[in-house]
Amino acid sequence: MKKEKKYNLWPLKITVFTFFLSVSINVVTNLLIEKVSVVWAFFVLVCVVLIGIIFDIVGISVTSASETPFHARNAKGIPGGKEAINLIRNAEKVSNICNDVIGDTVGVVSGGLAGAIVAIVVLKYNGIDEVVLNLVLSGIVAALTVGGKAAGKKIAITKSHDIIKTVGISVYFIKKVFTFGAASGGKKPKKKVR
């Protein structure tokens, strides 16, 4: 019963999370673009597109990988083993976050950034056709996103275990940083109570 209630709340939680994530990314990227040159603004745009591609690869990898190879890593206490198993066991949610939440949010943000770059270029350089520049830049963003994700899908499927191993290790160290070293691999000596 409890698991069913948690599952039913997932769409609501993810909707709220996506809203705040989208607003945060938009604010940060717009602040960055206002204070940098056109070249750096384009670099920020490319980075946003790359983030979408990377998370798409992780989302596909987590649904392709098997948890079996990670049990040995976890048993030996190798960092990231437990985290990799948790990622694979929660593949549906992890894939939803990586592919839908982050992927779609980044897609919307990259479109907004392209529009902002066009506005900056038109203001700085007279005589540039805004409509043509907008079409060209939107086409470049779409091509990079779709092409990058298409190339990433094959990598995600063929190298899923390597990718999840890397993500598991990353999650392990991120957890360690945010718990200020309290995460010691989950192995704490047990004291016998007499």
What DSSP element (H or E) covers 7? helix 2-34
pLDDT tens for each residue of 34-58 = 777 788 888 888 999 999 999 999 9
pLDDT at 1 (0 to 100): 47
Using an 8 Å Cβ cutoff, are 95 and 62 in contact?
Answer: yes
Percent of the chain scoring above 90 in pLDDT: 36
φ and ψ at residue 128, rounded to 5 degrees: -90, 130
pLDDT at 62 (0 to 100): 94
Side-chain-facing half-sphere of 89: CA atoms under 13 Å: 10
pLDDT value at 29 more than 70: yes
Q: Which of these ranges, 154-158, 164-168, 182-186, has the smallest mean pLDDT?
A: 182-186
Higher-scoring residue by pLDDT: 147, 186: 147
Using an 8 Å Cβ cutoff, are 116 and 38 in contact?
Answer: no
Query: What is the end-to-end Cα distance of the chain in Å, rounded?
Result: 38
- The pLDDT-based confidence of 160 (bands split at 50, 70, 90) is very high
pTM: 0.77
pLDDT tens for each residue of 67-93 = 888 888 888 888 888 999 999 999 999
pLDDT tens for each residue of 114-131 = 888 888 888 888 778 888
